[in-house]
Amino acid sequence: MNALELIDYEKVIAGKWKFLKAVFSLQKTKIYKDRNFKKFIKDNESWLIPYCAFCVLRDKYKTPNFNNWKTHKKYIAGKIAPFFSAKSKDYDDSMLHAWVQYQLHKQLKETIDHIHSLGVSVKGDLPIGIYRYSVEAWAEPELFGMDFQAGAPPDQFTELGQNWEFPTYNWEAMKKDDCRWWKNRFKALEQYFDAMRIDHILGFFRIWRMPISATQGILGYFYPAVPIVAEEFKALNIPFNFERYCKPFINDHILWKYFADESSKVLEFVNKNADGTYSFKKEFDTQRKLSDYFKKNKENSFLEERLLSLCANVLFVTEERNGKTVYHPRFNVYNTDSYFYLSDWEKNSIYNLYHDYFFRRQDHLWYEKAMEKLPMILNATKMLICGEDLGMVPACVPVVMDELGIIALKVQRMPSDDIPFYNPKIANYMNVVTASSHDSSTLRQWWKEDPDLTQKYFNNQLIQYGKAPKDLNAYLAEIIMKQHLYNDAMLAVFPLQEYLATDEELVNPEMDNERINNPAVFPHYWRYRMHLNLESLMDKTAFNEKISHWVKDSGRK
C-alpha cells in the first residue's frame, strides 16, 4: 500500500479491519472493563447503538441497502437495543464497532489537543448530504426526502448538472423538534473543531432536487420554489399541452440530429405517433429505466448517452404538490430541441416565464427559508462558521450570510459576479480566500485547461505582459499565493498542492495525481496522496522559511 502513488482506500480499509478485529479479539476482556470506553458508550448511545447495529446488519447481509436486508429493514429502537446486550449473539460484533468509534474519537481528540497546544486552530468540514443507504437514512427516514435525490444545476463545469444521489432533507419534519438532528451534528463536531465550513450552504436556502426516475442533474428543479401553476399558462395565453411541454419532444429531424445513421436502432425504444412524432415506450420512458437497461446491455454507450439526452428534451419538469401538478422550467430550456420547434410566440412567452422563475420570484422565499433554519442551528455552536457559497448564488445568499456573520468563500476562478476572475485584493474581513479547492483542479491543471482564459488571467489578473507560458511556473504561483495572502480577508486557506507549486523541486511530476475530487464525476474516488512525506518536507528549510515569511509579512499568524 505504501508504494502506491495514489491511495487504494478499499484495500487500506480492508487491511485495517483485519488488524482491528485481531486486536479486539485478543484484548476483549480488557476492553470491556475499560471505564473510559464504558463512559463513551453511555455518553453517545443515542447515535452509537443505531450505528453499531447498522454496521453489524450491513456486514451480515453484505450490503448497506437496508431495503434488501432479511431482518430489521425498518429501524425500531426496541428491536435494536438487544444488540448491546451481553447475552446477544451480536454483542461482540456491536462492541467491536463501538470500540473503533471510541478509538477514532480518542485519537482525533488527542491530535486536536496537540495542535491547540501549538497555538493552531482547526477548521472542519460539514458535508451537506447523507448517503442514501446510511445509518441516518435507516434510523430516521422521516427526516429525509427518500423519494428524491439532490445535486446541482448545470454550470460552467458540467452542462448536464450534477446528481449526487443522496436524499434531500425534509425540513418540515426537522423543524418539529427545532432541528435536533442538525444541532447534534454541530455539537459532535464542536468537540474537535474551532471553525466549520458548511458544504454547499445554498442547500439551506434551496436544494436542486431530482426525482428518482432521473439520472442527470439537468432534469432537476429548485426546492422549495414558487412553481408555475396551470393558471399562469392560461393567464399568459400559452397553449399548454402536457404531452408537448412535459414529455420529450421527438420528430424525425431530432432523431437524425441525435443518432444519424444509428436512428433505426432507436425504434426499439420509441413508438411512432399518428402525427409523425415519437414517444418513449413505457419500459424506457425515464432516464433511470434507460440506465438500468444499459447496465445489462453495455454494447452501445453512444446510444445510451444520446437516449438519456433525448429523454431530457422537455420544456418543464413536473412536481406533485398537495395532489396537484405544478411545473418548473427545465434548466436552459431555450437551448432544447423541443423549444426550437415552438412558435415564436410560445418561445418568447416561455423565455419570459423562465427568466421570472429563475431570477425574480424565488428570492424572498429562499431568504425566509434560510432564516428559519440557519439561526436556530448556528445558535447551537460556538464554532466560527464559514459557508461554501459557490455555484448559482441567489441574491439573498450574501444578505443572509452578512446578517448571520457567516464567512463567505471566494475562489479566484469562480467569481459570483459577472466578471472573469475574483480579485482577492477586494476581499473584506468576512471572507475566506483561496486559489483553488479540493473540488476543483489544481492551479497547475487549471492553467492548461483553457489557454485563452489563462492568457486573460496572465495579462489582466497577474499583470504580466506578453504570451502566457505553457505551464504554470513557480514565479507565477508565488504571485498568485501572495495576492491571496496580502488582503483584508479573515482567512486565506490553500490546498497543499498550491504551496508546493511555488517550488520547482517540490511539485509532483505527475500533475494529474494532485487533484483531490471532481464532483462532476460520480462516483469519484478521493485518492490523492502527498508524493513527499512530512519528514522530508520539514527538512526543506528554504521552502518553509519562505512560506513563514509570507504569512508573517502579510500580517497573518
Question: What are the phi and psi torsion angles at 318 (to 5°)?
Answer: -95, 155
Please say whether the beta carbons of 515 and 528 come within 8 A. yes
Same domain flag for 223 and 107 = no
Type and span of the H or E element at 75: none
Q: Is residue 479 part of a domain?
A: yes
CB neighbour class for 204 (10 Å; exposed up to 12, middle 13-18, buried from 19): buried
Task: Reduce the secondary structure of 397-408 to three states and give it as a string.
Answer: HHHHHHHHCCEE
Peptide bond into 127 cis (omega under 30): no
Residues with Cβ within 8 Å of residue 1, at least 6 apart in sequence: 7, 8, 11, 12, 15
Q: Is residue 195 part of a domain?
A: no
- Kindly report the pTM of this predicted structure: 0.90
Please say whether the beta carbons of 364 and 394 come within 8 A. no
Q: Is residue 424 part of a domain?
A: no
How far out from the chain centre does Cα 247 lie?
Answer: 29
HSE-up of residue 57 (Cα within 13 Å, Cβ side): 26
- For residue 229, what pLDDT is reported? 95
Same domain flag for 456 and 355 = no
For residues 11 and 109, what is the distance between their CA atoms, to the nearest angstrom?
A: 26
Of 73, 98, 120, which one is at a domain's C-terminal end?
Answer: 120
Same domain flag for 108 and 237 = no
With CA atoms as reference, report the closest residue to 248 among 304, 314, 340, 306.
Answer: 314
Please say whether the beta carbons of 447 and 470 come within 8 A. no
Question: Sign of torsion, CA 432 358 315 245?
Answer: positive
Same domain flag for 327 and 220 = yes
Same domain flag for 224 and 341 = yes
Cross-strand bridge partners of residue 492: 433
For residues 527 and 549, what is the distance between their CA atoms, to the nearest angstrom?
A: 32
Please say whether the beta carbons of 462 and 476 come within 8 A. yes
Q: Is residue 477 part of a domain?
A: yes
For cell 424565488, what's the residue?
362
Q: What is the pLDDT along the chain (557 residues), one digit of tens a residue?
A: 889 999 999 999 999 999 999 999 999 999 999 999 999 999 999 999 999 999 999 999 999 999 999 999 999 999 999 989 999 999 999 999 999 999 999 999 999 999 999 999 999 999 889 999 999 999 999 999 999 999 999 987 788 999 999 999 999 999 999 999 999 999 999 999 999 999 999 999 999 999 999 999 999 999 999 999 999 999 999 999 999 999 999 999 999 999 998 888 899 999 999 999 999 999 999 999 999 999 988 777 889 999 999 999 999 999 999 899 999 999 999 999 999 999 999 999 999 999 999 999 999 999 999 999 999 989 989 999 999 988 788 999 999 999 999 999 999 998 877 788 999 999 999 999 999 998 899 999 999 999 999 999 999 999 999 999 999 999 999 999 999 999 999 999 999 999 999 999 999 999 999 999 887 776 667 899 999 999 999 999 999 999 999 999 999 87
Q: Report H helices in 260-393.
A: 263-266, 287-296, 301-311, 337-340, 344-359, 363-378
Please say whether the beta carbons of 434 and 493 come within 8 A. yes
For cell 495579462, what's the residue?
459
Q: Is residue 481 part of a domain?
A: yes
With CA atoms as reference, report the closest residue to 174 among 124, 140, 128, 210.
Answer: 140
- For residue 522, what pLDDT is reported? 65
- For residue 263, what pLDDT is reported? 86
- For residue 439, what pLDDT is reported? 87
For residues 51 and 98, what is the distance between their CA atoms, to the nearest angstrom?
A: 8
134-to-166, 209, 401 alpha-carbon distances in Å: 10, 19, 30
Q: Is residue 469 part of a domain?
A: yes
Q: What is the DSSP letter of 461?
A: I
For 148, the 3-state DSSP assignment is strand
Please say whether the beta carbons of 469 and 527 come within 8 A. no
Q: Is residue 370 part of a domain?
A: no
Of 120, 145, 168, which one is at a domain's C-terminal end?
Answer: 120
Angle of CA points 170, 171, 172, to nearest 5°: 95
Q: Is residue 1 part of a domain?
A: yes
Question: Sign of torsion, CA 317 320 200 290?
Answer: negative
The three grid cell numbers given for residue 375, joined into one nine-digit string? 439561526
Same domain flag for 354 and 489 = no
Note down the domain range covering 261: 213-359
How many domains does the chain contain in total? 3
Question: What are the phi and psi torsion angles at 492 (to 5°)?
Answer: -120, 115
What is the residue type of 553? D
Please say whether the beta carbons of 446 and 440 come within 8 A. yes
The count of residues in the chain is 557
Type and span of the H or E element at 456: helix 451-456
For residues 458 and 421, what is the distance between their CA atoms, to the nearest angstrom?
A: 11
Of 120, 148, 172, which one is at a domain's C-terminal end?
Answer: 120
For residues 54 and 60, what is the distance between their CA atoms, to the nearest angstrom?
A: 10
How far out from the chain centre does Cα 486 lie?
Answer: 30
Same domain flag for 222 and 101 = no
For 556, the 3-state DSSP assignment is coil
With CA atoms as reference, report the closest residue to 356 among 227, 471, 255.
Answer: 227
- For residue 300, what pLDDT is reported? 77
Do the bridges between strand 384-387 and strand 195-198 make them parallel or antiparallel, or are there none, so unpaired? parallel
For 35, the 3-state DSSP assignment is helix
For residues 406 and 383, what is the distance between their CA atoms, to the nearest angstrom?
A: 11
Please say whether the beta carbons of 483 and 424 come within 8 A. yes
For 86, the 3-state DSSP assignment is coil
Residues with Cβ within 8 Å of residue 412, at least 6 apart in sequence: 421, 422, 423, 424, 433, 434, 435, 461, 480, 483, 484
Q: What is the DSSP letter of 132?
A: T
